[in-house]
Structure formats: structure tokens, C-alpha cells
Structure 1
Amino acid sequence: MIQILIAGVISLAVSILLTPVLIKVFSRQGFGQEIRVEGPQSHQAKRGTPSMGGVAILAALWLGYLGAHLLGFFQEGSGPSASGMLVLGLATALGIVGFLDDFIKIRKQRNLGLNKTAKSVGQFAAAIIFGVLLLQFRNGAGLTPASDNLSYARDINVISLTAVGFVFFCWLVVAAWSNAVNFTDGLDGLAAGSAAMVMGAYVLITFWQYRNACSMVSAENTAGCYQVRDPLDLAIVAVSAGGACLGFLWWNASPAKIFMGDTGSLALGGLVAGLSITTKTELLMVVIGSLFVAEIVSVVVQIAFFQTTGKRVFRMAPFHHHFELGGWAETTVIIRFWLLTAISCALGLTLFYGEFIAQGG
């Protein structure tokens, strides 16, 4: 428990202190954000705001995680785990893809960075490597960081994907969540605040899995126990990510002094995907992260409907812009979407606990 608290404090402190340094450095270098011309006209005033703030999120994430393990070095079994390192590796790999995208945007002073093919290849490579490695690193109890079964709040044993199918499934999950968070990052603080709440929900889920792990309970009380390889370490990852998001939000809240850019949004999407797979809660994450789901679905619906009929469902997609163009103030959209995220997280936690009770826990 103390390591979770240490990780959160370190990541929050690093993020809140490093971000203003990046604001100064990036402003001096002219690393300003380009704004979509077809977007809400109120956003044109944001042109030139420093971007690539996701660097602070990644730095705080790693320092929070490693700092917690360093300070807990003398505790038995407190070192980094395969599950934690794989999730962090996925987030970092996607963050690098996002950084390249942001850097090209800034250098060429346009709103388009990497082309779709290059970005997709980067996401594909990160996801495939992640998926393959998840089925390695078997521990003493015979558990790997993930299994090849589809999961809700634990494995659904009747739905086996096979090893090849699981790796393909990982690619779909990683691509979907990284793009979903990327689409959500269109208003000041929307993605950072929402991601912080999702990470907070996963701190509770992973700690509950740790306290009720099959390896931790007596042989007479195994009903509802969890077969997750490294739940406590995943709790440290989640709290480090949550602290990093909150610290960044201090500077990213409206009016934003810096944007996370694709560096941050793709990395956060990788965290969402990675945590859902390693905690065996892929389907539950759809509920907890339903705001991200709604954002990417709005884009898919808009494109499909326009190509089919030539008409648009929304004034603009992702659909947070639909409400802006409908007359809502930006802060109104942000706060109401945060509330929807909080409701989704609460509902997801309720479903998670309800499943535990149903299993006889």
C-alpha cells in the first residue's frame, strides 16, 4: 500500500513541476500547436500554445513507478514486474510514435504530422510486440501477464482466442484505445481529466485483485479469487499514470498553457489498453472508458454516414466539437464530459464488485 502512495506522490510532483519547465522550453523553441481551420473559431486563439506536453506525463509516469520501487527496494517482492514493465513499455512506444507525429506537425507548421500509414505501422508494431510478450514470463504460479481468453472482470474461459488470435486481438485493442484517447484530446483538459479518473478506477480494481488474489487467500476461501499475475505492480502503474495526469491537468486545464499532443494521448491510450488486458478486464474497460468509446464511435459514424449518404450526423466529429458548434461553452462541454466519465467509472466499479459477489466472493 505504501508503494502505491509513494508512486502517486512522486508522479504528481514530477508532472506539476516539470510541465511549466517544458512550457518555457517549448515556447522558446517555437513548438506551438497548429489548429484545424474547420474547427470552432474560438480555438484559433489557441494557435501557438506549446504542445508535446505528453513528455511530462511519460516522465512522471516512469519516475513515479521507479521511485516507488526504489524506495521499497528492501521489501520482499517489491521489484518491477513483467506486467508493469510491459504496460509501461507499450505506453512509451506509443508515446514515441506520438512524439514523432507532434514534432513533424511543429516543424512543418501544419495540423498533420505522420501520415496515417506511418502512424498505423508504429501502433501495429508496438501492439504486436506487446501481445507476443504478454504470453511469456510465466511466474511460479504458472501465470503469464495475460491469457489468450477474452475477459470481462476475469477470463471468460469458454472464449479462447488462441495465441495467434490473442496477438491480433491485442492489436485491435491497442489501436482502438490509443486512437480513442487521441480523438478525445480536443478540448483543454478533457483527455487528461478523464484519463485521471479512469486510472483512479484501475487503482481500486488492481488493489482489490491483489487483496483477493488466489495466491493470497486460503485454500478454503478461493471463491471469487483473481488469477492476475502482478496486480499490485499494476496498481503502482495506474496510480503513477493518474498522478501524472492530475499534475499535467494543473497546466492543461482551460485556458490551457500547454497541450499533451499525440505524445500524451497515444501513451495514455496505450495505458488504457495495457491495463485492460493485463488485469483481464477488456470488456469492463468499455464501460469505464465509455467517453473514449463514444468519441471514436462518433468519428466512425460520421465518416461512414457521410460516405454513404453525403450527409453528416454531427456538426463536427469527434462529437465534443458538435456541442461547441451548437453553442455550448468549451468549459461546459469539458465539465459535463468529466461528469459522464465519473459516472462511467462508478458504474464500472459497481459491475466489477457485483461480478465478485456473484462469484461467491
Structure 2
Amino acid sequence: MIEILLAGAFALGISLFGTPVLIRGLAARGYGQVIRDDGPQSHHVKRGTPTMGGIIIIFAVAVAYFSTHIITQVSVSASALLVLGLMTSLGVVGFLDDYLKVARKKSLGLTGRQKILGQVLFSGIFGFFGLRFPDESGLAPLSSQLSTVRDTSIALGTVVVIIWIILMVTATSNGVNLTDGLDGLATGAAVMTFLAFILIGVWEFRQGCATLNSPNCYVVRDPLDLAVLSAGLAGACTGFLWWNASPAKIFMGDTGSLALGGALAGI
């Protein structure tokens, strides 16, 4: 369980102390929030606040995760790597949107169709590869069976699973994006969600069929490593929240909101 503490601590430190460095860098380049003139007057005070803060969240999570595994000499898992890939790729989509906004000095970056296309593409890739890479027990990172608390005997098939994953990832990433409208709201909600994922991962590991010989055990893939990744995400968001709480010194932008939505859906 030391991996969970290390990942959380590393990500917290990187995010907490790295965010002000990012703020200065973004401010020096004029990468500030663009506010529509016809928007609420209360939002105009946010004009010019550095955005694209999701960069530090993604960076902190990745460094914390890999550093933890290097220190503990525990192998990385396919499940966590897939989630990291999904988070980063959606973060790239969000970054393009944020960059176009600040470059054009307008509140319009990528079109809605372009963002949806990026989300569909990367979530489809996530689903495709998630159904591969079985472990020694034959378990892939993603299950193709209908599940409630546990998998049932109803097989959905590859196409249905990928379509479902696309819908889930797209809905979740856009949901976080919509939530990111008040200072610290999306970040704070994400912290609590990832903390819950840590508990779920540890519980599934303790009650998993790989460690518990019981008819009620969970047949799951890499629950503990996903808990480690969740700890990194919780730590990174907590460190960022210090600077993102009202009055925000930086916004995560679509870079952060789409990335966090991808991580939430992926885990």
C-alpha cells in the first residue's frame, strides 16, 4: 500500500509547487482566459487569468505514477497505462482548444464537432486496446460482459463495448468540462471522486479472487494499480486546488477538464 501514499505525495508536491511556475510562464506569454463580451459581468474579472492549468495536473500524475513504480520496483499495469493514455490524449484535445482561444483572442477554439471527434477517436482507441492484453488469468483490462456489481454471463461483444465506452467517455469528459464553471468546483469534485476510487481499488484488491479464495471474490484486473493512479490524480488535483480555489489564480481549462473526465471514465 506504500505505492498509494507515494503516488499521492509525489503528485501533490509537483502540483502544489509546480503550478505557480506554470502560472508565471503562462502569464508571461499572455495565455489568459478569454471571456465573451456578452457573458455575465461577474465573469469579466476573470479575463486574463492564466488557463491551460491542466498541463500541470497531467504532468504531476504521470511523473508520480512512474516514479512510484521505479522506487518500489513494481511493474506498471496495462490498465493504468491505458487510463494514462486516455487522460493525456483528451488533454491534448483540450489543449488545442485552449491554445486556439488564446491565440485568436476569442472564446471559440475548436468547434463542437472537432472536440467530439477527438473524444470519439481516443475513447474508441482506448476501448479497442482495453479489450486486449490479457494477463496470465485471461483477464483483459476491460470486460466485454455486462456487469452490475460483478460481471454477468451476458457477453456484449466488442463492437457494443466500444460504442458504450465512447458514449461513457464522451459524456464524462464533457460533464467535467461543464462543471468547470466556478473556481475550484471541478477540481474539488474530482478530488473526492478519486479518493473514492482509491477505496474501491483497495477493496477490490483485498477481496479479489487473486488474493481471496471465496465464491464472492471479485474477478478484476489491476485494482491496486488503479488505486495508485487514483492517488496520483487525487494528489495532483489537491495541489492544483490550492491555486484554483476562489479567487482562482489559474484555470485548468479544457486541457484539464477533458483530461480529468477521461481519467474518471477510464478508471
Who is 1:196 aligned against?
A: 191
Alpha-carbon deviation of 1:121? 1.4
SS of corresponding position for 2:117 = helix
User: Which 4+ residue blocks in structure 1 deviate beyond 4 angstroms?
Assistant: none
Structure 1 position 72, deviation (Å): 0.4
The aligned residue for residue 58 of structure 1 is: 58
Query: Does the residue aligned with 2:146 lie in a helix, a strand or coil?
Result: strand
Residues paired across the two proteins, number: 267
Aligned twin of 2:230? 238
Greater relative contact order: 1 or 2 (C-alpha under 8 angstroms, separation 6 or more)? 2
1:207 & 1:6 partners in 2: Cα distance? 15
**What residue is the counterpart of 2:105 in the other structure?**
109
Distance in 1 separating the partners of 2:204 and 2:38:
46
Q: Secondary structure at the match of 2:132?
A: coil
CA positional deviation for 1:70 = 0.9
Amino acid of the residue matched to residue 6 of structure 1? L
Listed as ranges, the gaps of 5+ residues in structure 2 are none
In 1, Cα distance between equivalents of 2:81 and 2:158? 21
Partners of 2:204 and 2:39 in 1: how far apart? 43
Question: Counterpart amino acid of 1:187?
Answer: L
- Partner Cα separation in structure 1 for residue 150 and residue 249 of structure 2: 41
**1:179 matches 2:174:** yes
Q: Tell me the amino acid that sits aligned with residue 182 of structure 2.
A: L
Output one character per residue of 1:113-168: Cα deviation in whole Å (capped at 9) or x when no partner: 1011211111111011100001101101110001112333332434x321111011
Question: What letter is aligned with 2:212?
Answer: V
Any idea what the Cα deviations from partners look like across 1:220-279, whole Å, max 9, x if unmatched?
Answer: xx132111110011001101000000000000000000000000000000011101xxxx
Query: Partner of 1:102: helix, strand, or coil?
Result: helix
Q: Distance in 2 between matches of 1:70 and 1:126?
A: 28
Partner of 1:260: 252
3-state DSSP class of the match of 1:49?
A: coil
In the TM superposition, residue 25 of structure 1 has moved relative to its aligned partner by 0.5
Distance 2:109 2:26 in 1: 17
The answer for unaligned runs of 5 or more in structure 1 is 276-361
1:119 matches 2:115: yes
Amino acid at match of 1:30: G
Query: Which residue is 2:36 aligned to?
Result: 36
Are 1:223 and 2:219 an aligned pair?
Answer: no
Tell me how far apart the structure 2 counterparts of residues 150 and 24 of structure 1 sit (CA, whole Å).
48
Q: Deviations over 1:49-87 (max 9, x none)?
A: 0000000000111011111101101xxxx2110000000
TM-score (norm 2): 0.98
Offset of 1:38 from its aligned partner? 4.0
1:92 aligns with 2:88: yes
Q: Which has the larger radius of gyration?
A: 1
Partner of 2:242: 250
Q: Which amino acid aligns with 2:226?
A: L
Which residue in the other structure is 1:321 paired with? none
Match of 1:165 in 2: 160
Give the 3 Å change call, closer, same or farther, for CA 46–72 of structure 1 in structure 2.
same
- Distance in 2 (alpha carbons) for counterparts of 1:23 and 1:142: 46
